[in-house]
Amino acid sequence: MIQEFAGDVARYYARYRRGYRADLLEALRPGPRVLDLGCGTGQLTLSLAARATTVVGMDPSPDMLAEARATETPNAVWVVGADTDVPALAPLLGGSLDLVTIAQALHWMDAPRLFTALTTLLRPGGRVAVISNGVPVWTADTAWGEAIREVAAKWFGTRDFPTCGTSDEERARYGRQLREAGFAGVHERRLDHTDRLTLDELAGSFHSAAPLERLTDFPRYDRELREALLAAQPDGVFTEEVSVRVLEGTRELPG
């Protein structure tokens, strides 16, 4: 599914997308200067801002950034831009960043070109972290996951359910591309946990990734989705095994 991260989708994204737990923030060790690329509505950016001196959140969607700006955070700077705009940051940030995070967004980007560009922004010893904060809800191997897929197929005419950078194959490819771009010590950590979602949270999470602009009858679609989810899980409590993966590489020190 391909969607525009604008309008209602951005609002659902801000309200219902899963946040980032404290154990992940501790593992990232952000340092003073951080760039969160593909930051969306700022879930990770704002958490990083509590631990860093300055955080730049960069995303191509003005509507997503408008949601992020709604939380006033003095040390967070918001920039409209895609991965192709990263080289333009070099005059301002070149060689100064301690950490670049890319969370749930690399599948939209040209990873090899981006990783090469990031080497000029990071200080020696600076790191890039590619984060997968659980698999998309429509790929869940559960009865409620199948319910989402059936509703999506009916309303959006697709059985193409992308894994959005969370599959083993994609993670291995990203690791190889980091090494090819010159990053050292490339490794991946897992910080898995179990989450329980309400009906509103699960439906909202799917809405945040669906092409809502294609709908002519959102209330009916939303009603059918909720009915299908409750048919699959009548108690309305949806248990999800969340696989959090952090793929990290370091810009090598001189000499």
The residue whose two tokens read 């949601």 is 67
Question: How many residues would you count in the chain?
Answer: 255
**Distance (Å, whole) CA 138 – CA 91:** 41
**Measured between alpha carbons, how far apart are the two ends of the chain, in Å?**
46
Cβ distance 170 to 107 under 8 Å? yes
pLDDT at 201: 97
- What is the enclosing helix (H) or strand (E) of 163? none
Q: How confident is the prediction along the chain (255 residues), in pLDDT tens digits per residue?
A: 445 688 899 999 999 999 999 999 999 999 999 999 999 999 999 999 999 999 999 999 999 999 999 999 999 999 999 999 999 999 989 889 999 999 999 999 999 999 999 999 999 999 999 999 999 999 999 999 999 999 999 999 876 778 999 999 999 999 999 999 999 999 999 999 999 999 999 999 999 989 999 999 999 999 999 999 999 999 999 999 999 999 999 998 765
Q: Are strands 183-190 and 244-251 parallel, antiparallel or unpaired?
A: antiparallel
Instruction: Please write down the long-range contacts of 201-206, taking CB distance under 8 Å and 24 or more positions apart.
Output: 201/16, 201/238, 202/137, 202/144, 202/229, 202/238, 203/229, 204/12, 204/15, 204/16, 205/12, 205/16, 205/17, 205/18, 205/137, 206/137, 206/138, 206/148, 206/152
CB 67 within 8 A of CB 14: yes
Question: What's residue 157's pLDDT?
Answer: 87
pLDDT of residue 246: 98
The DSSP symbol for 84 reads G
Strands 97-103 and 122-133: parallel
